[in-house]
């Protein structure tokens, strides 16, 4: 049942009472396989034998997702779309449809929450689960993982890969190593056998700079890192970072599954097809992004206090500016007023920009915010107006209603 490296593969049989080699491995990491592309293929059965790429189609479009047929040709996420199509000219390209992906994601997350309330989504297509409380009812972790995979396939028509381990980071590595459509258990007794051959870059927290620093120390694998003197590692990388990496190399990770974790910020950004210098065009985009952020805040029942803007020049140099408001808000007009001021104060008005973004930080529950108007302050009523717009958009689609400024063709009207 257990390989020489301590890995239990898909299809292995386990005792129904959970007393097998997975007995202390209650953390699962589920990762949907090529999620966006798989949803597109599901919606269009005619794509059965065609490589599918999801992403932007403009001059600066990038790949968001590629199925495994396209990946076999060298296509991967974040690749420029033009290059992807040179590698895979027969691919079917689809623009991202966030609403469709969110709908399927919600259904998958509901499957997970029917197993355990301890579910921590990381994105639309992956999540951690702690199934320690579900074992008496459903059996051991591997049996639970197999049941989840079967339900996702039957109910959503999609495949997923699941890693099972005693720690979050090992479970995540497990799901990565069994893709696509796999299940991998890394029992505690086999963690070192699993980790040792991996490159140090596989560990969370090891970016390019840390990997280069470790290479100069002669450390290129996780096993070499585990054998490296801990005190020297702390001297080279810093006390906190060195200690953390030494622990991970030995399979030690006590971070819990946090089911109630929420975004600390909510934002939106846009990359232009060509660099934009006209301030009127930038201001209109800031308005669109501000309203988008406000809708997301209202949908989540939260408000924010700090508005920040991101401005990226054509040479990829980027600046951010932020301002904290006296009161938290979820009103697009209020967010946009600050965003416009920050853009005006940035010194980049008239400078060609590749990307602009708006973000709200200092997120708090809207139910806990009680805004007190000053004696001479008038209630603008924009919050009520925007909530009516939310209801119209929910019923008829996001393009059914928008600010008059955004509907104008003449940029000088902004």
CA atoms within 13 A on the CB side of 129: 29
Which of 234-243's residues contact partners 24+ apart within 8 Å by CB, and which partners?
Answer: 237/210, 237/213, 241/205, 241/210
Nearest to 339 by CA among 307, 364, 368, 371: 307
Ramachandran class of 231: left when φ > 0, alpha when ψ lies in -120 to 50, beta otherwise = alpha
Catalytic pick among 40, 110, 126, 411: 126
Instruction: For residue 211, give both structure tokens.
Output: 């990997």
3 state SS of 255: coil
Rounded distance between C-alpha atoms, residue 288 and residue 269, angstroms: 10
Rounded distance between C-alpha atoms, residue 282 and residue 277, angstroms: 8
3 state SS of 381: coil
Residue 125 annotated as binding?
Answer: yes
Instruction: For residue 194, give both structure tokens.
Output: 């699993």
CB 116 within 8 A of CB 131: yes
Rounded distance between C-alpha atoms, residue 400 and residue 109, angstroms: 29
Told to judge if 291 belongs to the known catalytic residues of this protein, a careful annotator would answer no
Phi, psi angles (nearest 5°) of residue 189: -65, -20
Quick one: 36 exposed, middle or buried, by C-beta within 10 A (0-12, 13-18, 19+)? buried
Residue 31 annotated as binding?
Answer: yes
CB 121 within 8 A of CB 109: yes
Three-state SS string over 71-94 comes to HCCCCCCCCEHHHHHHHCCCCEEE
* Bond preceding residue 180 cis, omega within 30 of 0: yes
Nearest to 290 by CA among 347, 338, 325: 338
CB 187 within 8 A of CB 2: yes
Residues contributing to the annotated binding site: 31, 125
For the annotated catalytic residues, the residue numbers are 126
Residues contributing to the annotated binding site for Mg(2+): 31, 125
């Amino acid at each position: 049942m257990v390989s020489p490296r301590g890995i239990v593969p898909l299809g292995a049989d386990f005792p129904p009472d959970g007393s097998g080699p997975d007995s202390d491995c209650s953390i699962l990491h589920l990762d949907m396989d090529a999620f966006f592309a798989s949803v597109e293929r599901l919606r269009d059965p005619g794509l059965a034998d065609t490589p599918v790429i999801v992403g932007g189609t403009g001059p600066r479009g990038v790949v968001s997702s590629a199925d495994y047929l396209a990946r076999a040709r060298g296509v991967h996420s974040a690749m420029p779309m033009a290059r992807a199509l040179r590698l895979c000219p027969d691919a079917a390209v689809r623009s991202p449809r966030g609403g469709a992906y969110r709908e399927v994601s919600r259904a998958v997350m509901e499957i997970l929450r029917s197993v355990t309330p301890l579910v921590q989504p990381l994105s639309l297509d992956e999540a951690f689960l702690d199934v320690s409380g579900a074992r008496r009812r459903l059996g051991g972790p591997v049996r639970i993982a197999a049941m989840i995979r079967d339900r996702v396939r039957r109910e959503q028509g999609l495949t997923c890969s699941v890693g099972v381990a005693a720690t979050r980071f090992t479970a995540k590595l497990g799901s990565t190593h069994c893709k696509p459509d796999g299940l991998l258990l890394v029992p505690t007794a086999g963690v070192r056998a699993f980790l040792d051959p991996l490159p140090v870059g596989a560990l969370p927290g090891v970016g390019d700079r840390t990997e280069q620093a470790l290479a100069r120390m002669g450390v290129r694998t996780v096993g070499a890192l585990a054998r490296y003197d801990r005190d020297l590692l702390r001297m080279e990388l810093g006390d906190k970072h060195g200690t953390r990496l030494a622990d991970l190399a030995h399979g030690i990770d006590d971070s819990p599954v946090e089911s109630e974790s929420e975004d600390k910020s909510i934002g939106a950004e846009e990359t232009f097809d060509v660099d934009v210098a006209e301030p009127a065009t930038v201001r209109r985009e800031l308005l669109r992004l501000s309203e988008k952020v406000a809708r997301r805040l209202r949908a989540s029942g939260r408000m924010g206090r700090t508005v920040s803007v991101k401005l990226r020049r054509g040479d990829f140099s980027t600046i951010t500016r932020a301002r904290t408001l006296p009161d938290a808000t979820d009103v697009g007009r209020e967010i946009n007023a600050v965003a416009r001021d920050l853009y005006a104060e940035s010194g980049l008005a008239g400078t060609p920009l590749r990307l602009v973004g708006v973000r709200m930080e200092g997120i708090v529950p809207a139910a806990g915010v009680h805004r007190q108007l000053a004696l001479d302050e008038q209630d603008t009523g924009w919050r009520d107006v925007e909530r009516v717009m939310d209801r119209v958009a929910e019923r008829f689609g996001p393009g059914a209603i928008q600010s008059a400024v955004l509907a104008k063709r003449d940029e000088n009207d902004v």
